[in-house]
Amino acid sequence: METVSENRAFGGTQGVYRHTSTSTNCEMTFGLFLPEEAKDGPVPLLWYLSGLTCTHENAMTKAGAQAWCAEQGIAIVFPDTSPRGEGVANDDAYDLGQGAGFYVNATEEPWAPHFQMWDYIAEELPTLLGEKFNLDMDRQAITGHSMGGHGALTLAMNLPGRFKSVSAFAPISNPTASDWGRKQLSAYLGDDEAAWAKHDASLLMAEVGFDGPVLVDTGTNDQFIDLLKPEALANAVATKRQHATLRLQKGYDHSYFFVSTFMEDHVSFHAEALYGE
């Protein structure tokens, strides 16, 4: 693992690291903020999964999470959204290919050789983080924005016991019924829609739910709200009678201004779950 940079921030360290991934068969880069408490012992870990077109850097510099994580003594990791580099398949559209991994393991060509983002986030990167940094991997939580909100919710529900809590900012909530989802799931996973179900937060919520607290914020002025389908997730929560807080934030859009506005709420929400036992 290569250290790209390390900067003092809010009493802790904001690092950027690069490593060769066996899951994606290319170099991957991630950001990790460690609070000051990590010098003295393992600290809880919050995952932040980013959305379409983003790298590890967008949320790291725009979401305003480090100050609130430092206050709570929590580390936060910012993975990339897809494999990258020469030889990695791509598409001219912004919502497919590099920058648009959708947190799935692709089975279709030309994506399958590199687009194994589920394994990267669920298995490889957690192992690496636990080995290299002073983290308490028994206390993890997960959040994300847009495509990353989709990833956070689906990972949390598919990996019972892994995360103490899950939250999302404007998640793609029902991709099997949305143009932001059907296009990508068919490209990466093929035309058998049965294979898509584990990557749809609304279907998962109605079927299995999440054994822990859930928080979701979406702006009422989100320019993509018809693609996000928050109403599908709300209906699934009601069907499952899931303990969850779903909020429509008046006047907010899809931008990082929205994310940064409610980041304190989300970090505090996760801190309560991470330190609650």
CB 175 within 8 A of CB 156: no
- 14-34: average pLDDT: 98
Query: Across all residues in the chain, what is the average pLDDT?
Result: 97
* Distance, CA of 45 to CA of 132 (rounded, Å): 13
φ, ψ at 196 (rounded to 5°): -85, -25
Tell me the whole-structure pTM to 2 decimals. 0.98
DSSP three-state, residue 204: helix
Q: Identify the pLDDT of residue 172.
A: 98
* Distance, CA of 47 to CA of 150 (rounded, Å): 13
Q: Which of 80, 90, 81, 96 is nearest to 113 (CA)?
A: 90
Q: How far from chain centre, in Å, is Cα 111?
A: 20
* Distance, CA of 140 to CA of 81 (rounded, Å): 19
Does the pLDDT of residue 277 top 70, yes or no? no
Active site (catalytic) residues: 146, 222, 254
- 152-181: average pLDDT: 97
Q: Identify the pLDDT of residue 248.
A: 98
**What amino acid is encoded at 158 in this protein?**
N
What is the DSSP pairing of strand 2-9 with strand 245-249? unpaired
Give the burial string for 52-65 (b: 16+ CB within 10 Å, else e): bebbbebbbeebbb
**What amino acid is encoded at 167 in this protein?**
S
pLDDT single digits (tens) 128-165: 999 999 999 999 999 999 999 999 999 999 999 999 99
Q: From the CB of residue 205, how many other CB atoms can be counted at a distance below 10 Å?
A: 27
pLDDT single digits (tens) 59-68: 999 999 999 9
Which run of H or E residues covers position 62? Answer: helix 57-62
* Distance, CA of 73 to CA of 55 (rounded, Å): 25
CATH architecture of residue range(s) 2-275? 3-Layer(aba) Sandwich (3.40)
**What amino acid is encoded at 35 in this protein?**
P
With a pLDDT cut of 70, the percent of the chain lying above it is 100
Does the pLDDT of residue 8 top 90, yes or no? yes
* Distance, CA of 237 to CA of 226 (rounded, Å): 19
CB 103 within 8 A of CB 117: yes
Ranges assigned E (strand) in the chain: 2-9, 12-21, 26-34, 43-49, 75-79, 135-144, 166-169, 214-219, 245-249
